[in-house]
Structure 1
Amino acid sequence: MRELTSSHEADHPPTVSEARLLSVLDTAADGIIVIDEHARILIFNKACEQMFGIRAAEAVGKNVKIVMPMEYAVEHDEYVGSYIRTGVKKIIGIGREVRGRHADGTIFPLELSVGEAATPEGRQFIGILRDLRPRKESEQRLADLQSELVHLARVSAIDEMGAAIAHELNQPLTALILYLQAIRRAHQKGIDINKVVGDILDKAAGEAERAGHIIQRMRQFVEKREPERHVRDINPLVDDAIELTLLGQSHRIRVDREPGGELPHVSVDPVQVQQIIVNLVRNAIEAASGTADPAIRVSTRMKDGNVVIEVEDNGPGIAPQALPKLFEAFASSKRRGMGLGLAISRTIAQNHGGDLLVDPGGNGKGACFALVLPVASPVPAEFG
């Protein structure tokens, strides 16, 4: 086949079959490049012109490296030569994600599929190219929306806990005021306060630190930020989440904690995982609140190669009619809140490569939710 351009600018008018081929190539939504054994471009369709900002007449006859980033370009000729010599295929017949280079120097993601054809003029290689920028942009928008929704659910949880948190914060602030008032009264009465002022100020400072710690934890929990994965021991995360949930709880509840001993670390976003645990513990407290001796159990253990956090209550269990919509957004039966808790929690778990499962209980047995998280991959040892 002689060299053809998609814009019909070859030295000779195309034959009927060639014109038909060019028409098909120019109608294709994906980019199509055909090269010979020397990596010279034979065909460069209109989709490629738009994708790379290069006219077909300028591309045909050139080495295909003109549309590749430098790191690909230096290896490409050697790869083609190696394949011709050895017959070992690396990407032929296999689609994969690569990067292309626009005429203005912009590097962008592409999906590439490569095939080959034997012709009287030697082997030719056909590349089908799809610009991944629209898909990547769509995925990024979806990720941003999901991150915003996860953050909104945390803010909603804190809003629902507002009265309890205000009560918890009021205690150290009230104590701080009382300590300072005691010093002022003693000073007004002319009492020698030198002997006691140090002790009182130490207690006042302790209450101020306690209030500051509560505020800091609230801020960290509701702060809007990009998700970040860290390798962590799960037990301290669970303990902190329980402590956060129990802030200002006015009703009596027994929390049985079973830490499960030494567990392998997990790779998680700590705040998002604590968001799940806070939601599960809050739901368990609410489910158990109507019993004579309300209690919940929070355990961590290994199961089937995963780390599992279970939150079980001694309430009545989940009604069968509620199960089908349990993890759907806006399906909450609570008087306050948006009903995003379990839906968001399962999404977070699945984004971590895990899941959120439930044993509904019933017949005298409470519900049990299980957060399943994969074990963190071991860090390879360094050599040398």
Structure 2
Amino acid sequence: MKQGDDQHGGPTRPTVSDARLASVLDTAVDGILVIEEQGKILVYNKACESLFGYAPEEALGQNVQLIMPSDYASAHDRYLDNYVGTGERKIIGIGREVRARHKDGTEFPVELSVGEARTPDGRQFIGIIRDLRSRKEAERRFNELQADLVHIARVSAMDEMGAALAHELNQPLTAIMLYLQAATRSITRAVQGATLPVETFRQVLEKAVHEAERAGAIISRMRHFVEKREPQRREVEINAIVDEALELVMLGQRNPPRVVRRYSRGLPKALVDAVQIQQIVVNLLRNAVEALKGRELPAITIETRKDGEHLEVVVEDNGPGLPPTAVPTIFKAFSTSKRTGMGLGLSISRTIAQNHAGDLTVDPGGDGRGARFVLQLPIIAAPDNGSADEDAG
């Protein structure tokens, strides 16, 4: 007996269950497909028409490859045959993100969930297809806005450090001016008949070049830190990132705190955006410097280490610690105890860490202990055995 005929060979009337199923199929927001073992489309709901552009009469009876990109289509029948023959699942019972193809040839992302049903007509597979284009566009826009906010926070940090950076740049520029004035005087005397002290003249010019290179390095470091660009993750040495951040923060500090470096050697590399991770360390160091203002014998300890499956950067100061009222909101946006600043530093720092599958936590200290921040980043390579190297600077 074929489906749709009764025992006497005449067409059957739709049952309540049939009508209910048809209503579900027609009103479902997601595409619903049913195929048989050879991949032929048996059910194709209205949402599928919107998704793929094919009318039901164009799709029903066709192989499901009709709506697949060519690289998927070529392997699909083989997957079906393999599953039917061995029972080994590739996607059956598992939801995953794949690409689909519209009638006009364009490809787009979808979420596909596949189930299996054993029927009197043989094994059938039910696919539920959700269009991901709106979600992907929202994610893309969110990532753009987040990247803009991260960039703004870096610019804000440089703005707050403006006076110190100006002071730091003023030193080599002043030295260049003095050296060049001395060189000019030597040339003037030589023109008037005096002997030109060639070796002294050469040394003066070399010193001027050195100071110019120093000023150029400062500007280059600042420009690299604040420039707007797409995130670029690569394998990096975490100790090098910490050192660069430390140099940036200590630029122009008139009475810098003592810095103790405790860097573990032989650490595995981290797959990160180096500038963003440097941004976190800069924020932590600047906060530590701020907390130590007016303290006797101010000191900051920076430690790098491996802890299980993570690399850790620990920044600790010997200041008064964080007040209890500040702890609940310390990682919230626009929360700050500084006289200047937007209150975005720690909030964005934690966001960056979590976007790298890591985290940023704090021990607030107090009772004679300073605050202690721990940045965690996932390890991407097997570690080398090494020992800690302690250097007071």
Q: Same fold (TM over 0.5)?
A: yes
Specify whether residues 304 and 20 from structure 1 end up closer, same or farther in structure 2 by C-alpha distance, changes over 3 A only: closer
Which segment is superposed worse, 107-116 or 318-327?
107-116
What SS class does the counterpart of residue 258 from structure 1 fall into?
A: strand
Instruction: Report the equivalent of 1:291.
Output: 295
Instruction: Report the equivalent of 2:128.
Output: 128
Instruction: Report the equivalent of 1:140.
Output: 140
Instruction: Report the equivalent of 2:155.
Output: 155
Contact 2:268 2:381 in 1 (8 A): no
What SS class does the counterpart of residue 325 from structure 2 fall into?
A: helix
1:279 & 1:273 partners in 2: Cα distance? 10
Alignment deviations for residues 39-80 of structure 1 (CA, whole Å, 9 cap, x no partner): 111111111111111111111111111000111111212222
- The amino acid that maps onto 2:117 is A
1:20 & 1:326 partners in 2: Cα distance? 54
The question of 1:192 aligning with 2:182 is answered: no
Of 243, 248, 258, the residue aligned with 1:254 is 258
- Count matched residues: 371
Specify whether residues 87 and 364 from structure 1 end up closer, same or farther in structure 2 by C-alpha distance, changes over 3 A only: closer
Specify whether residues 300 and 88 from structure 1 end up closer, same or farther in structure 2 by C-alpha distance, changes over 3 A only: closer
Instruction: Report the equivalent of 1:6.
Output: none
Contact 1:98 1:111 in 2 (8 A): yes
2:160 & 2:30 partners in 1: Cα distance? 51
What SS class does the counterpart of residue 98 from structure 1 fall into?
A: strand
Specify whether residues 59 and 174 from structure 1 end up closer, same or farther in structure 2 by C-alpha distance, changes over 3 A only: same
- The amino acid that maps onto 1:146 is Q
Specify whether residues 363 and 306 from structure 1 end up closer, same or farther in structure 2 by C-alpha distance, changes over 3 A only: same
- The amino acid that maps onto 1:98 is V
Specify whether residues 15 and 252 from structure 1 end up closer, same or farther in structure 2 by C-alpha distance, changes over 3 A only: closer
2:118 & 2:314 partners in 1: Cα distance? 61
Quote the sequence identity (%): 58
1:121 & 1:372 partners in 2: Cα distance? 56
Q: How far has the Cα of 1:360 moved from its partner?
A: 0.9
Structure 1's unaligned 5+ residue stretches are: 4-11, 380-384
What is the correspondence of 1:270-285 to structure 2 with a 5 Å cutoff? 270-285=274-289
Structure 2's unaligned 5+ residue stretches are: 5-10, 384-393
Specify whether residues 14 and 67 from structure 1 end up closer, same or farther in structure 2 by C-alpha distance, changes over 3 A only: farther
Instruction: Report the equivalent of 1:319.
Output: 323
What SS class does the counterpart of residue 167 from structure 1 fall into?
A: helix
2:195 & 2:102 partners in 1: Cα distance? 82
What SS class does the counterpart of residue 192 from structure 1 fall into?
A: coil
What is the correspondence of 1:25-36 to structure 2 with a 5 Å cutoff? 25-36=25-36
Alignment deviations for residues 187-206 of structure 1 (CA, whole Å, 9 cap, x no partner): 33334335132211111111
The question of 1:227 aligning with 2:226 is answered: no
Q: How far has the Cα of 1:90 moved from its partner?
A: 2.7
Q: How far has the Cα of 1:213 moved from its partner?
A: 0.6
Q: How far has the Cα of 1:313 moved from its partner?
A: 0.8
What is the correspondence of 1:192-211 to structure 2 with a 5 Å cutoff? 192-195=195-198, 196-211=200-215
The question of 1:349 aligning with 2:353 is answered: yes
Alignment RMSD (CA, Å): 1.9
Instruction: Report the equivalent of 1:335.
Output: 339
